[in-house]
Amino acid sequence: MLVKAGVQGTPIVALVDTGADTLYMSTQLADEIKLPYEKVQGSVKGMIAESMPISGVAKNVSLQIGQWQGKVDITIAPLNEKKLYLGIDFLREVQALLVPYADTMCIMQHGQPYYVPIKREARAIKFIVKIDNVATSYFQTQKKLSPKQANSNFLAEFDFKMEYKPGKANLIADVLSRKGELADISQPTSNPLERIKQGLEHDPIAKSYISLVKEGKTRSFGLRTDCFSTRDASLCASTWQRAREILRECHDSHGRDILASSGQQPWWRTPISGLE
């Protein structure tokens, strides 16, 4: 959470961070506002960093938060962000009470309440939202919103700018951007019946039974769409081809849709030895 503060009369933005143990200011910010501090050597360990060296300590610094004013000591350290951190020890010292639902911090030092407005960190950042649907950006200017657009009212709490991003640089949702790739995956690589026929040509047992069928010497088997089948029209696949792959393609839910293009919907069994 962010609050407006002042250090030695210079307005800055402070971060209320209960993970920090005391008051911290980045070295870059201290040099920028020309805050004098005594250089010391050492390091501290806390929630901000695993091991953080200290650049120095600024003593008896005038700090103002809202209407509250006081003298504090600030630890100067080379932090990644150019900010002032209000740590847990400082909040306890000034008897600060955070009220997140009201976006307020109340400082009760010496029995005098000081109410300080705070901003959530995400709400304090200005966003630029780039979208591919230009119509979506119109809800900001429309006087009357549809029920679907009204669900976006929470965006009013954030400082953002919505822009339409045309052209190839615009990347839409992942599923839509990979539409061509998913379409290729959804298409069958080959006709299952053709693979069955090819497998039968490499199976000597199947070839012998097919010869018997063509010669009319057996009634237990027959030929259906040039494929070897039983009397109840069950197609037979040989051990030569990838039976597991064919089963997955023909019997899984997606495979049934794929097989519909061939006009067949076989099921699998082991009618004779050597065939499956």
Give every CB contact of residue 108 below 8 A, 6+ residues apart in sequence: 94, 95, 96, 97, 114
- Higher local confidence (pLDDT), 6 or 266: 6
Other beta carbons within 10 angstroms of residue 209's beta carbon come to: 21
Q: Which amino acid is at 51?
A: S
Q: What is the pLDDT of residue 194?
A: 73
Q: Is residue 187 part of a domain?
A: no
Q: What is the pLDDT of residue 228?
A: 65
Q: Is residue 159 part of a domain?
A: yes
**Residue 99 pLDDT more than 50?**
yes
Same domain, 113 and 132: no
**Residue 183 pLDDT more than 70?**
no
Q: What is the pLDDT of residue 234?
A: 67
Q: Give the lowest-confidence range in 25-39, 84-98, 106-120, 193-207.
A: 193-207
Q: Give the lowest-confidence range in 62-71, 78-87, 109-118, 170-179.
A: 170-179
Same domain, 51 and 144: no
Same domain, 109 and 131: no
Same domain, 227 and 142: no
Same domain, 98 and 18: yes
Domain containing residue 21: CATH number: 2.40.70.10
Q: Is residue 16 part of a domain?
A: yes
Same domain, 88 and 15: yes
Q: What is the pLDDT of residue 145?
A: 66
Q: Is residue 241 part of a domain?
A: yes
8 A C-beta contact, residue 106 and residue 38: no
- Structural domain including 8 reads 2-119
Q: How many residues does the chain have?
A: 276
From residue 215, give the alpha-carbon distance in Å to each of 154, 200, 209, 248, 274. 78, 18, 10, 34, 21
Q: Give the lowest-confidence range in 21-25, 121-125, 168-172, 201-205.
A: 168-172
Q: What is the pLDDT of residue 270?
A: 44
Same domain, 197 and 134: no
**Residue 255 pLDDT more than 50?**
no
Same domain, 202 and 237: yes
Same domain, 88 and 160: no
Q: What is the pLDDT of residue 276?
A: 40
Same domain, 248 and 200: yes
Structural domain ending residue among the three candidates 96, 119, 142: 119
- pLDDT band per the 50, 70, 90 thresholds, residue 265: very low
- Higher local confidence (pLDDT), 44 or 252: 44
Same domain, 107 and 212: no
Same domain, 172 and 241: no
Q: What share of the chain is helix, strand, coil (3-state, %, to 5)?
A: 30, 30, 40
Domain count, the chain: 3
Q: What is the pLDDT of residue 264?
A: 46
